[in-house]
Amino acid sequence: MQKELLEIPAGGIDPGEDVETAVKREMQEETGYLPRKLVKLGSFFPRQGILPKTVFYLVLTWCPAVLVAEDTDSIRLVRVPVSEITQNTDFW
């Protein structure tokens, strides 16, 4: 049986770019939506000294934008309420 993989938009920070600008750019590139209001949830180092700091943001409001991902055929946006993520162990 095959299952779909759900992933959150993610990416790196370009030189000279601040974190929130990178978050907005990555979300637009990968989902076709441009965040308007962000809330920083937290950050951590997944493998200190090996992997860069990881920062999580919650997008409170967004607007439609242009989907600029290279492989748009396989992208399907799935909106999941926060309450469902925190209560449903299928997401973890």
The pLDDT of residue 88:
56
* Rounded Cα distance, 49 and 19, in Å: 20
Cβ(38)–Cβ(18) under 8 Å? Answer: no
What is the DSSP secondary-structure string of 45-90?
A: -TTTTTS--EEEEEEEEEEE-----S-GGG-------HHHHHH-GG
* Rounded Cα distance, 92 and 90, in Å: 6
pLDDT value at 92 more than 60: no
Residue ranges of domains in the chain, CATH in brackets:
19-91 (3.90.79.10)
The pLDDT of residue 70:
64
Q: Which of 69, 65, 50 has its CA nearest to residue 11?
A: 69
pLDDT value at 67 more than 60: yes
Q: Which of 6, 67, 17, 57 has its CA nearest to residue 36?
A: 57
Q: Per-residue pLDDT tens for 10-64?
A: 888 899 999 889 888 888 888 888 888 888 888 877 777 776 777 777 777 778 7
**Three-state SS at 2:** coil
